[in-house]
Amino acid sequence: MTTRLLVWRHGNTDWNAARRVQGQTDVPLNDLGRRQAAEAAELLAAMRPAAIVASDLRRAADTAAALAARTGLPVSHDERLRERYFGAWQGLTTAEVALQRPLEFARWKAGQDVGGDVEDLDVMGKRVSDALQDAATLGGTVVVATHGAAARQGIAHLLGWSREHTRTLRALQNCHWVELSHDEDRGWQLGAYNVGVFAERPVPPPV
């Protein structure tokens, strides 16, 4: 039996628009984000999901709710799907982080662990991967609403990719998704990346 995971980044927020570090701050969707969620939900509903799982942070939970409204499916919430914890960075713009914490910012840009109170990449990858594995046990097509950095690192951990390989993935755009499949013969495979309704300009790695 083949299981399919559609790992879906939440819609736009005011902090996304301002390039402000969200991390685990519970920032809601803005008007654009709600519209993105509703339009993406139309496409995802056509894929006939069997289950919906979401981060408990509002921007992901409300994105998932748009799909639930179309399909009639309930949403299960899993805090392991939360975004990376960015500690003292949260609430700052990326420009402010670069100015106030240049060494940490340089490590982040290089794809390294930041240090301080910022969550380690491997820790984040494992917790999100564990949540994805549990979501997959629901069977069929499962939509998982989460966050940009969490999605990328969790998927990489699931696939057994190195950090160097993971850095080849561009940032996941708001309300775009990744398709993964799993069967007994081939294990986990990446089917599609950054699929969605909206054509957006490239953005910095999501935080």
Contact predicate 171/205, CB 8 Å:
yes
Question: From edge to edge, which strands make up the β-sheet containing 141-146?
Answer: 75-77, 51-54, 141-146, 3-9, 177-183, 187-195
* Distance between CA atoms of residues 16 and 122, nearest Å: 24
Task: Report the catalytic residues.
Answer: 10, 83
Quick: pLDDT tens for 161-207: 999 999 999 999 999 999 999 988 889 999 999 999 865 444 455 55
Percent of the chain with pLDDT over 70: 95
Sorted by where each starts, the structural domains of the chain and their CATH numbers stand as 3-195 (3.40.50.1240)
pLDDT reported for residue 147: 98
Residue 189 — left, alpha, or beta (φ > 0 → left; ψ -120 to 50 → alpha)? beta
The model's pLDDT over 17-37, given as tens digits with 9 standing for 90+, comes to 999 999 999 999 999 999 999
Binding residues: 9-16, 59
pLDDT tens digits, one per residue of 66-92: 999 999 999 999 999 999 999 999 999
Q: Is a pLDDT exceeding 50 seen at residue 102?
A: yes
Binding site, annotated residues for substrate? 9-16, 59
pLDDT at 207: 55
